[in-house]
Chains A and B, each alone.
Chain A
Amino acid sequence: MDERLEITKEDERLFERLASERRAKLAMGTVEDYLRMLQKMRELEQKGEITVHHVTEEYQPVNVTTLSGRLKKIPTVKLWQHKSCGQCGHIPGIREFSLLDNV
């Protein structure tokens, strides 16, 4: 007897999403917590306790969706490049290779 579980494609996606959300709890906060945090951020801004750097039209944003389906604005111009510190690329223990000479 075939014991494979037959699920629809839609259920499969839902399952994957739920699994992702469950995994998310391993990190700080749940998806719901995160959305509440964003709401609180707006409240703190209204109270004048913090300044929020908004993704205004000046940055010509494009909307994407996040895991929860909320719209996230991605700026496309006038970007401040926050570079990697570079330590990841310079982990000791590997001798230097240069394929310029090896290929």
Chain B
Amino acid sequence: MDSVVTYPGYVSSLYWIMSELNVPYIDDTNQTSCTAWNYYGSGTSNSVALTAVFLRNMHVAWEKRAYPLIHCGTSYGDYKECRFLLITNSEIRERVRAILKKIDRDIVVPEELVHYSEWLHVMRFEIAQRKKFDVSQVKVAVHAACHTYKLMAEDFTYDESVLGGVKPAPTSSIALALGAKLVEYSNWYDCCGFGFRHILTEREISRSFAYFRKIRPIVNETRADVLLTHDTGCVTTLDKSQVVPLAHGYKESIPVLSDSQFAALAMGAHPFLVCQLHWHVTDWSALLSKMGIDWQKAKEEYKAYLERVKKGEKPYLIKPPPFWVIGLNPVLVVGAGPAGLSAACDLSQAGVRVLLVERREELGGAPARWKYHTLAPDFVPVSRVLGPLIEQVTKSELVEVKKGCVVESFRGSVGDFEVRITELKTRRSETRRVSCVVVATGFEHFDARVDPRYGYGRVPDVIGINELEAMLSQGRVVKRDGSAPKRIAFVFCVGSRDRSTNPWCCTVCCGVSIKQAIELKRILPDSQIYMIYMDVRTTGLWEKLYWDSMEKFGINYIRGRVGEVYHTGQKLLVKGEDTLVRGPFEALFDMVVLAVGMEPGEGTRQAASIFGLNTNEYGFLLPRTPNIHYDSGREGVYLAGSCVAPMSVEEAISDGSAAAMQCVKLMKVMRA
């Protein structure tokens, strides 16, 4: 969520400070002006309408589980009055409730009404720690805004350590914390001159009051370098009201800044890009020089920036820190296939930092490695499923992606595990601390060279379904000689359900093979396709593929087992047994596609060793409870995806989400 700052100076400075301090916040466009302008300016509004607007804003904050921080001093004062009336007057309460009902809301009242200067007050020491410029020689005068402490006087911050607890603490306290010299003056209680009615009807009173009752006495009594205040109206009134007297020969002048601008400047914020001093009419150059800020250089930088923006560069926006960051060690996600990506996305969306480690140089796991075309059973492009996940982890500020890296050691206890991560190319290692782990190391396609019956790796045009996917992605399926195949055989259960290789069922290869056969018929409509199967295991909704392949695409099925594939010189001869007619068969094909199964890969074997996880007899990671995949049996280590068992992409994505949820649950407990 980028923050678009439209109001000069104090807002951008406040947001910048919050971002520097890593304070999450929401800059919400869904808010309404306080209407206090109307109230104080003309008196045409009324208490019920004002209170309804107040509560509507407060309700929006409550809905978003964020606490309202009120910037405008007048809104703050107005809201204090509104809350007072609402609580003490049942008639107003009921009339306001009726208004709110029209927008499906009810009465939600903030326990405390908080002005932004009070936030700066409580954060002042943290801000001072980030100070980059020495302000010890700067003399600061402070003007407290009437509406913050005179309307409902009880409810503003006073502090015994600031001005003896007699005058409002905010703004003075930040100047003191930063080390500036705070100077007092006699007419501190006076209004800045703004006065809503005056500014509308008798502006000269405002301007002359501001200059002759505030600015001149402050300058003559204190010789301060800057006048700080904490309300937009006060800043602009005290700043702009100096123009006319100066034009008439009066000499007293002082720069006027908000407290947030002064604090941000001291912390090293850019005077123009962040603090937007060019909107101020009084001369701040001496102040900045005294603070040690090279404003001339900053001015040139800003002018150059404006030129770049004119040429199309994206304007600088202050980014708020992620809202729900859980301030613990990140979660380590091992493997960036569908399950790992899904876990990383869900964790980051829940405000959890993620360290995503992937052995390969690309994200996406087997689908990316083998360039999968579409997913069964609905022919959805893989890019549409995995693309958003990859984009999210790549763009998320909460996800740190480490490609070409492996985890080499793991120790410690839940919440504070220590892992050593090594970059494969350089062998450079680093030690990181993580709170918990999601192991999502995926699978490998069965290497059919292991079973010599199929001739894979020796006989041309015998390929795996993984290789056919890549061809389908390119939209061009050809034999090694470049010609299109006319007769194509799919051999099911290669490296699956075979006790001589892998005895388990890979669960998806029947469906994937049929999906591919249909796609082949679409691009090679004259081809003849034969599916040589043991059983057709298109479970659940995948069954439609099976019937459609026969009824709509004329794909043939032979129930049998293949004993041998060899090249005749021109064709591929497939020999086997037809288990329906209980006799041998031989058939010539142009291409043979092996429905290779899924098996645990090297990454999974290493994960088992490094994270101390149990494996089953086949080498898949073994959950503590057979039907609950994510539970590794080791506290803080969760399992997801096809490192546990063969599964489809969508199942792996769900598995990743489930593991992410376990991490969130665990971290919630750790925070408590």
Contacts and interface: CB of A to CB of B under 8 A. Distances in A.
A27 B277 contact: no
B498 interface: no
B314 interface: no
A74 B119 contact: yes
Contacts of A62: 122
A89 B236 contact: yes
Interface string A61-83: 01011111010111111111111
Nearest to B66: A80
A66 B58 CA distance: 22
A41 B374 CA distance: 59
A65 B37 CA distance: 29
B338 interface: no
Contact of A27 (B26, B123, B152, B165): B152
B166 A75 contact: no
Contacts of A55: 67, 111-112
A30 to B, nearest CB: 8
The size bracket of the interface on B is 35 or more
A74 B153 contact: no
A49 B37 contact: no
Nearest to A28: B81
A47 B243 CA distance: 55
B349 interface: no
Contacts of A93: 203
Contact of B157 (A53, A64, A89, A98): A64
A91 B250 CA distance: 23
Contacts of A40: 87-88
Given A72-B112, A88-B194, A27 B156 contact: no
Nearest to A62: B122
Given A40-B87, A76-B122, A99 B112 contact: no
A79 B84 contact: no
Interface residues of A, number: 62
Interface in B100-116: 106-112, 114
Contacts of A82: 31, 57, 61, 68-72, 75
Given A76-B122, A78-B25, A81-B28, A37 B88 contact: yes
Given A74-B112, A84-B71, A99-B283, A24 B154 contact: yes
Contacts of B108: 50-53
Interface of A: 9, 13, 16-17, 20-21, 23-24, 26-29, 31, 33-35, 37, 40-41, 44, 49-55, 58-59, 62, 64-68, 70, 72-89, 91, 93-94, 97-100, 103
7 contacts: A28-B81, A74-B122, A79-B23, A79-B68, A82-B57, A85-B75, A100-B299
Interface of B: 6-8, 11, 14-15, 18, 23-28, 31, 33-34, 37, 57-58, 60-62, 64-72, 74-75, 81, 83-85, 87-88, 93, 106-112, 114, 118-119, 121-123, 149-160, 164-167, 169, 189, 194, 199, 203, 231-233, 235-237, 240, 243, 272, 277-281, 283-285, 295, 299, 302-303, 323-324
